[in-house]
Amino acid sequence: MARPVIAIVGRPNVGKSTIFNRIIGDRLAIVEDKPGVTRDRIYGTGEWNGISFSVIDTGGIEIEGEDELIRLIRVQAELAIEEADTIIFMVDAKAGITRADEEVAQLLYRSQKPVVLAVNKVDNLQRMDDIYEFYGLGFGDPVALSGAHGTGIGDLLDAAVAKLPDAQEEEYDEDVIKVALIGRPNVGKSSLVNAILGEERVIVSNVAGTTRDAIDTPFEHDGQRYVLIDTAGMRKRGKVYETTEKYSVMRAMKAIERADVVLVVINGEEGIIDQDKHIAGYAHENGKAAVFVVNKWDVVEKDDKTMQQFTNTIRDHFLFMSYAPIVFLSALTKQRLGKLLPVVNRAAEQHAMRVPTHLLNEVVADAVAVTPPPTDKGRRLRVNYVTQVAVKPPTILIFVNEPELMHFSYERYLENKIRAAFEFEGTPLRLFTRRKSDQE
């Protein structure tokens, strides 16, 4: 189920990014030690009182002149408002109400979204008197806080989380494969959706998804039931959306979180850009099964080496997703379209696969015997026991004598040996090292 979304909106220099970092804590600093995973500070995840949510930070706008300031603030606010379930409207106690604040307030009135008014830079008791002016913005009681000192964050989160919508349970059976299509604008996501559904001609219904703006399309093929997850917003093309790449990532996040298998759609005619990595990286970090779909293959000039060359390019750019299969097709002509769903089925199956403990231990024991762990200052890692503790994605605990001796390269070696034995095609693997006593 997708997390609800909180957006932090306001003019520059009111402290949005500081509060953003306070809310997400050290989560953004937890990066995988794997090449190729890129991150964008526009979004993060937070948790408060047991409720997990995504956070949008609209900071970092570069301004040239007051008119440009107002225009850019409006664009940023409109985008965030559309994505958000609840909005934190941030203002500056020292500056008072500005024209830009009033501009944002007007947008928020029209949105009819829940708003929490946060007055930042209330760094001492004397500043408390400055918050009363902000009642004039019409959003009820302001929350006083200090990003610099970290005060008031709890009150802010109490208010913001209280305004989030109640989560809705999905009503799909376990055997339904939920497939999200993600990718930057103009790669042909909507065309691919239509090609898949048009080919099968068995659309059950178009129903509103459990997330705002999501469109779920159930269908069936060869006895297997699926749900295609797309977002209505992704189909609304316009200059603002095409030039604001960060928000297409935000849209993709909501679809990814609900999916079993993520189709990373790439424009075969244009090739790969950094935004493709942002979007695919989020699928990987969320532990979702993934398939690269190279669309518009019909218009690519090619010879007998073109497909292999493009495959190599994908592998070079997405080193962290070497497990994901690649399908070349054309949504327009339906060329090779029939190859897609069998690959999706395989990825979903591997994503949910559970390996018996004794087999897993045999494979790891053999791997350790062939290539023992290296020593570190006379100490050697000893692998005692291995077990799979979860699926979707497959998650494996490795119990050892001293976890700090598990070098990243040796963990990758064990992962490769496990993949060689059991495949796990299309799905990331999560390996965690624990001290032996942790299993007792």
**Domains, in order of start, for the chain:** 5-162 (3.40.50.300), 177-351 (3.40.50.300), 357-439 (3.30.300.20)
Average pLDDT over residues 109-125: 91
CB atoms within 10 A of CB 222: 8
Average pLDDT over residues 7-17: 84
User: Which pTM was predicted?
Assistant: 0.70
Percent of the chain predicted with pLDDT > 90:
48
So what's the pLDDT on residue 36? Answer: 35
Q: What band does 290 get if pLDDT is binned at 50, 70 and 90?
A: very high
So what's the pLDDT on residue 378? Answer: 87
CB atoms within 10 A of CB 270: 13
Q: Which pLDDT tens digit goes with each residue over 335-377?
A: 999 999 999 999 999 999 999 999 999 999 999 999 999 888 8
Average pLDDT over residues 10-33: 68
Average pLDDT over residues 321-346: 95
- Specify binding-site residues for GTP: 10-17, 57-61, 120-123, 183-190, 230-234, 295-298
Q: What band does 210 get if pLDDT is binned at 50, 70 and 90?
A: very low
Average pLDDT over residues 45-74: 70
So what's the pLDDT on residue 2? Answer: 65
Beta strands in 371-429 (DSSP E): 375-376, 379-380, 383-390, 395-400
Tell which wins on pLDDT, 203 or 1. 1
Q: Which pLDDT tens digit goes with each residue over 168-193?
A: 555 678 899 999 998 877 778 878 88
- β 214-221/289-295 pair status: unpaired
So what's the pLDDT on residue 212? Answer: 38
Q: Which pLDDT tens digit goes with each residue over 255-272?
A: 888 899 999 999 898 888
So what's the pLDDT on residue 32? Answer: 35
CA distances from 148 to 129, 133, 264 (A): 18, 21, 40
Tell which wins on pLDDT, 213 or 163. 163
Cis peptide before 393 (omega within 30 of 0): yes
Q: What band does 66 get if pLDDT is binned at 50, 70 and 90?
A: low
CA distances from 119 to 41, 78, 91, 144, 345 (A): 22, 21, 5, 5, 50
So what's the pLDDT on residue 67? Answer: 65
Q: Which pLDDT tens digit goes with each residue over 215-255?
A: 678 889 999 999 988 654 333 334 444 444 555 556 677 78
For every residue of 281-324, DSSP letters joined together read: HHHHHTT-EEEEEEE-GGGS---TTHHHHHHHHHHHHTGGGTTS
So what's the pLDDT on residue 86? Answer: 94
CA distances from 68 to 64, 74, 138 (A): 6, 10, 26
CB atoms within 10 A of CB 437: 8
Place of tokens 């493009």: 310
SS3 label, residue 51: strand
- Specify binding-site residues: 10-17, 57-61, 120-123, 183-190, 230-234, 295-298
Mean pLDDT value across the chain: 82
Tell which wins on pLDDT, 143 or 377. 143
So what's the pLDDT on residue 1? Answer: 58
